[in-house]
Amino acid sequence: MSQTRMAINSQLINSQLKDERVRPHQPGQEVFKTIMAEDINWKPFAAFPPSVRLAVVVGQPSYEGPYVIRVKVPRGVKLMPHKHPEDRVYTVISGIFYIGLGDQFDADRLQAYPPGTVIVLPGNTSHFHWAKSGEYVTQVNAMGPLGLEYVNPKDDPRNGNSGM
């Protein structure tokens, strides 16, 4: 094979490999952008107690694909045992994040994590939270769709009978 033909074949193969590595963009992620903390839009979320706020930072959590959300929980609020079908990576943004594992809320099982901590939570792991020492904000990175199921349906604010 001539050197010219080998060079053309090499360019063709490299071009095809490059095209295969380019993935389609998620909605809202096709251009460079930044999201400043003061621009985050906090909203109530039906599956959380009324004072807790959630903000969608990147992606669309109700659809398949990557998403980033932030959760702000005021002092004293407990999120009773629940689980998510998706694997999650939490980053503590501010405050102390208390999380415990298990199907029953047990303050003795809570672990305290300061800002900057990264926590990997496998999908379908029952866990609970408490804003024990003050408000905290966590950031959650995961692949949607987002799911949340309380261990005890009576703890789910969507059922209208939660005392939280």
Question: b vs e for 136-147, b when ≥16 Cβ sit within 10 Å of the residue's Cβ?
Answer: bbbbbbbebebb
Closest by alpha carbon to 147, among 74, 92, 105, 88? 88
CA–CA separation, 55 and 100 (whole Å): 23
Tokens describing residue 57: 């930072």
Question: What is the set of domains in the chain, with CATH numbers?
Answer: 39-159 (2.60.120.10)
Nearest to 138 by CA among 110, 109, 114, 157: 114
pLDDT digit string, tens, across residues 74-133? 999 999 999 999 999 999 999 999 999 999 999 999 999 999 999 999 999 999 999 999
Give the pLDDT confidence of 138-152 residue by residue, as tens digits: 999 999 999 999 999
Q: Give the number of residues written for the chain.
A: 164
